Amino acid sequence: MESNIKLIVLDNFKEVGEKVDKELQKMKRKKSYLTKISNSRFANGEGKVRIDETVRHQDLFILCDVGNYSISYPLHGVPHYMSPDEHFQDVKRIIAATSGRSEHITLVMPLLYESRQHKRKGRESLDCAVALQELETLGVDAIVTFDAHDPNVANAIPNLPFENFYPTHIILEEMLEREELDNLLVVSPDMGAMERSRYYAELLRCDVGVFYKRRDLSKVVNGKNPIVDHIYMGADVKGKTILVVDDMISSGGSILEVSQELKNRGAKKVYLIATFSLFTEGVESFSKAYQEGLFDALYTTNLSYVPEEIKSLPWFQEVDCSNYIARIIDTLHRGQSIATLRNGKQEMFQKIQMKLDL
């Protein structure tokens, strides 16, 4: 029996999941691939999930956003907003609800759960690795994620396909449509983002610089050693259009400090790029920095939740990745190579150079 694509989209990724479904319909000229589910809670917060239609012998793709902080439920009569831990628990409930009847399960989790807790120092938990091993044990056959904080965490599941994609080319295409990009320099806000920044620089055929974050190791604030100074290493930024590239923005304090430093050094324009913009706090700081001319725009994706009121701000530019996800799903379903989708470097270089040469 030939398997068909079935999409299970959790409420935390509903908007993007529906767009992915529409993109698949365009590609394959079929009706909706969405599978109905019921997700409910008991009054004490315990949850349960039910799949409301058959997934037997189907190619199942589960789509979720564990970072969505807009989903709530009543807990002991009080509204309670779901944390990543609770979203991840619902993912496991969905997998358990299939009862092993689907032919193949691929989990599409753009923001990888606990990706910042990917390595251990001393008596620390190793949450990301443990979570990946849990998924493997439950019967997940492949994991699709985007811009993992450290792709080496895949070593925790050596026998499970771990497909890590980057939306670099989609973001750059959007920027090239909207912005005048010339005299470019890509800057990494810290040493950890250097490889990602180099990839942008290679596509744009420009130089790359980096900031070193000097931290006060004697203190811990909000789980981190506070930054004492940003030390820049690289080409002169004066008169340049700068792209500051990172995987995620949480409060954004660090990347705004980098923007300030670049402007102090004479940068002409500063564009911020992040795959995930979590905005745990600091939106007001971004608006103030924009008004002060410290940066020209923030480009980010719809791979993680951002409130509508932030999307309407003049400095915010969202890049839609739903077509990209749909193409990944279709390619995996047909058992074809994902090399071009994962990289596509030469093709993207040609497109980018054509636009830059115009």
Q: Is 28 helix (H, G, I), strand (E, B) or coil?
A: helix
* pLDDT 10s digits, 329-349: 999 999 999 888 876 566 666
- Angstrom distance (rounded) from CA 263 to CA 238: 8
Note the pLDDT of residue 124.
85
Bridge partners (DSSP) of residue 48 are 40
Mean pLDDT of 264-276: 96
Per-chain mean pLDDT for the chain: 90
Note the pLDDT of residue 220.
74
Note the pLDDT of residue 341.
84
Token match 């402007």: residue? 263
Write the CB contacts of 103 (distance below 8 Å, at least 6 apart in sequence): 3, 57, 58, 59, 60
User: Between these two residues, 45 and 357, which has the higher pLDDT value?
Assistant: 45
Q: Is 244 helix (H, G, I), strand (E, B) or coil?
A: strand
This prediction has a pTM of: 0.91
Other Cβ atoms less than 10 A from the Cβ of 47: the count is 14
User: Between these two residues, 88 and 212, which has the higher pLDDT value?
Assistant: 88
Q: Is the pLDDT of residue 351 over 80?
A: no
* pLDDT 10s digits, 271-311: 999 999 999 887 999 999 999 999 999 999 999 999 999 99
81-90, 185-194, 225-234, 257-266: which range is least confident on average? 225-234
Token match 């974050």: residue? 213
Q: Which domains does the chain have, with CATH numbers?
A: 5-165+322-336 (3.40.50.2020), 168-319 (3.40.50.2020)
* pLDDT 10s digits, 37-95: 998 898 888 999 999 999 999 999 999 999 999 999 999 889 999 999 999 999 999 99
Cβ pair 234, 207 in contact under 8 A = yes
Which among 290, 319, 23 has a CA at the least distance from the CA of 172? Answer: 319
Task: Specify the long-range contacts of residues 345-349, CB closer than 8 Å, at least 24 apart.
Answer: 345/202, 345/203, 348/168, 348/169, 348/172, 348/203, 349/202, 349/203, 349/205
Q: Is the pLDDT of residue 21 over 80?
A: yes
Other Cβ atoms less than 10 A from the Cβ of 233: the count is 10
152-166, 185-199, 336-350: which range is least confident on average? 336-350
Note the pLDDT of residue 212.
84
- Angstrom distance (rounded) from CA 157 to CA 132: 7
16-20, 37-41, 312-316: which range is least confident on average? 37-41
Q: Is the pLDDT of residue 1 over 50?
A: no
Note the pLDDT of residue 175.
92
As a three-state string, the secondary structure of 80-96 is EECCHHHHHHHHHHHHH
The residue type of 326 is: A
Note the pLDDT of residue 169.
87
- Angstrom distance (rounded) from CA 41 to CA 98: 19
* pLDDT 10s digits, 80-135: 999 999 999 999 999 999 988 889 999 999 999 999 887 777 888 889 999 999 99
- Angstrom distance (rounded) from CA 298 to CA 201: 18
Q: Is the pLDDT of residue 226 over 50?
A: yes
Percent above pLDDT 70 for the chain: 92
